Every structure is written in structure tokens, then in C-alpha cells.
A = this chain, B = another copy of it.
Amino acid sequence: MHDYNEIIGRYEDELLNRVTPFWAERAVDRENGGFFNSLDREGNCFDTAKSIAMQWRNVYMFAALYNSEYSKDEYLELARFGFDFCWRTRRPDDGGYPAMTNAAGTPLMPGRGGFMGTMIFVYAGCACAELFRATGEERFREEARSCFTNYLAGLKESEHFSRSELFPPMRRRGCYMHLCHLCRTMLVCGCEFDDKVRTALEMTFEIIPRFYCPEAGRWLESVPTDGGFRLESSLFRTVIPGHDFETMWFLIQGAELAGNREILDRVPEWTLRIFDYTTDRKNGGLFYYMDALDKPVWDGRDMVKGWWTHNEALLAAAFSYRISGDERLFERFREVDEWSWRHFRDPDYPEWFGLVNYDGTVSNGFKGSPSKTFFHLPRALYNCIQVFKALAK
């Protein structure tokens, strides 16, 4: 047996003594409410604009920690604190939220946020479900329901949207993997409504596997709604390894809840396949963005490495290992764990670097941004701990 306790102890220390205090001490905006997003290496705020999706992610994470074996009253207080800020930005007419606000919560851009406006409902729904679980207050369950309903409507609308005769209506994997996660979170937290959440969860097991393209041997970000694959243009060939890994452990969590044996049987091999094409054997670590046919990515996003890719890979490897016992998966976990700890973890200040260079060296070392907050890393640490606690029994 591997030394699971070493991993558990190290991840607990990282989560509870470094990462969580960093955000609780540096990100909380006591003056305006909510959380600052843009933090430099030491934790200094370099832009007070607030992404509402990031606000909800903070709320989710603090509420989930409150609901865990590491519960502290402070975590619930911070989750409520974040919820109050988000609630002030909510549009009463359609229940939607702005994408970005200034520090005080005034929307920065006009409009209803488009696709990002839809994705916010996932983070808001998960956060409110965890808050309901924490408090039993009906208003949180109601807002989770509102977000779930709005999300399904937005998702449906996006699939009927054809940008031109040359762009068929496309279905995005991001929509369905996040729906899987939202449904599972709501069910675990006691937010079911006339079996609708369970039905939506089951539907994701049908749709998600269609995003695997056998011809390319890769998971794709988007495929035509009416089936088939489009590989002739870079626009359709985007591969985001972090999403691939995230899909895997979302599927395992969802399929375990739903008792879907078929999905559980397939995920470990999928996970191994994803490691095959995303591992940078030359420089170490995992690629951030790729082209499904390995054609050039020309915006430079294949030239950096991202913290969250590695967080999701840890989760995919750990979950897949737990359900399969396949030692190759533990080996993949070990590799990513070792590389991440060496390159993303900042030895001098808490929290991990957001991006590192292709070779693992650090550039500007930011810790928070409009897409990085108290979310991917603590979620990975917490859920990996759960996996290894189960294995250590």
C-alpha cells in the first residue's frame, strides 16, 4: 500500500494552514463586501474589479469547507458575506447576475453577460446548494432552484444558436460537465425539485461521452448539436486539458451518486488516455491548451502551463485510481503531484502561482485573477484528501 497518510497530511496542511488563510486574510473586502480577485504573489490586490463568477466560487468553497470535517464558523460567515454581495448584484427581473462589477458591486459592462452570464448560474447554484446544506435556510434552496432553471434555459438557447451557415449550432462540453457537477452538488445538498435535477444528471451521462472524438483520440470542447465532428478548422479543434480532467472526476462523482456502472467502467481508461496526450514528456507538467490534431496553437496558450490543469489532473487521477485500483493512475497522480508541488507551489508565500512558463519557471507569479480565486486549488486539495482517506481505510 502506498503512503496515503503522507499525502493526506501534506494536503491538509496546504489547505488549512496556507491556502485558506491566504484568501480569508487577503481577499476579503470588508469595506464593500465580496472578495478581491486580482492578487499578486504576496497577496496584494492589483485591481479591485470583481468577477461575479469568482465571488460565487468563493462562496461555494467556504460553504463546502464549513460542511466538511474541517468546519469552522468563520467559513460560514465568509460564505454568507460573499452571498450578500452577490445578492446585491442580482437582477430581480430575470434572476441573472452581471459578469463584472467594480469593487462596490456596480456592473462594469452593460448587457446581460451572454454565455458567461449563463455559466455564472453553475457557480451560484453550487454555492447556494452548499449554503442550504450548511444552514437549512429555504432562501438558499430557492436560489439554487432559480439558478438551475436559468442554467438549463440558457444552455438550451446556446445550442440553437448558429453563428452563420458555415457554423452549425454547436454543443459545448463545458455546459454538460458543469451541469453534471451542479446536479450532483444539488442532490448531495438536498436540493431536488420534482426529480428534475436527477433527470438532468442522467441526461449528462448520455451527452458527455459524445465529446470524445475517436478520429483525433481527444476530447473536444464543442461538437455540432446534430452529431459528428468538425476538424477542418482550428476554431473547432480546441482541446483544453484541464476540462478533460475535470470532466472525468465530475463523471465519477455523478455516476456514483446515480449508480451508473457503465460510466464508472469507462472513466479510468479515458483518464489514462487524457494523460497520454496532455503530458509534456520533454519539459514536464501538463499542456494548457492544445489543437486536437496537434496543429499549431497560435495565441501562445500552448506555451504556458496553468495551475488548474494540474489541480484537475490530480483529481482525475485520484478518483479514477480509487474506483479502478489501476496503479498506472496512482503513478500519474504522483507525477503531477510532484511537478505541481515543485513548480506551482510558492515556497515563500501561500497559494500557488497561476501560470508558469513552459519549463516550470515562474514569470509574474500572480495568485488571483478574474479566473483564479479560492476555488480550483482548495477544491482539489479537499477532494484528494477524501479519496486518500477512503483508500487508507
Contact = CB atoms under 8 A, between A and B. Distances in A.
B365 A167 contact: no
Given A163-B109, A233-B48, A296 B357 contact: no
Contact of A296 (B295, B359, B365): B365
Interface stretch (A89-97, A243-251, A300-308): A300-308
A295 B369 CA distance: 12
A106 B164 CA distance: 10
Copies of this chain: 2
Contacts of A357: 303, 357-359
Nearest to A108: B166
A107 B163 CA distance: 10
A49 B232 CA distance: 9
A176 to B, nearest CB: 25
A335 interface: no
B300 A304 contact: yes
A13 interface: no
A228 interface: no
Contacts of A46: 234, 291, 293, 295-296
A135 interface: no
Nearest to A44: B295
B166 A295 contact: no
B165 A106 contact: yes
Interface string A19-47: 00000000000000000001011000011
Contacts of A354: 298
Interface string A352-380: 00110111010111100111100000000
A46 to B, nearest CB: 4
B235 A49 contact: yes
Nearest to A37: B298
| Residue among A107, A304, A369 with most chain B CB within 10 A | A304
A364 B289 CA distance: 12
Given A47-B295, A298-B364, A358-B361, 10 more contacts: A38-B298, A40-B296, A46-B295, A49-B234, A49-B235, A109-B167, A298-B371, A300-B301, A302-B363, A359-B359
Dominant secondary structure at the A interface: loop
A304 B293 CA distance: 23
Contacts of A38: 234, 295-296, 298
Contacts of A47: 232-235, 295
Contacts of A369: 296, 298
A102 interface: yes
B302 A364 contact: yes
| Residue among A296, A370, A371 with most chain B CB within 10 A | A296
Interface string A194-209: 0000000000000000
A297 interface: yes
| Residue among A102, A163, A167, A295 with most chain B CB within 10 A | A295
Contacts of A214: none
A233 B51 CA distance: 13
A163 to B, nearest CB: 6
A108 to B, nearest CB: 5
Contacts of A164: 107-110
A80 B170 CA distance: 37
6 contacts: A40-B296, A109-B163, A298-B370, A303-B363, A304-B304, A358-B363
Nearest to A237: B47
Contacts of A364: 296-298, 302
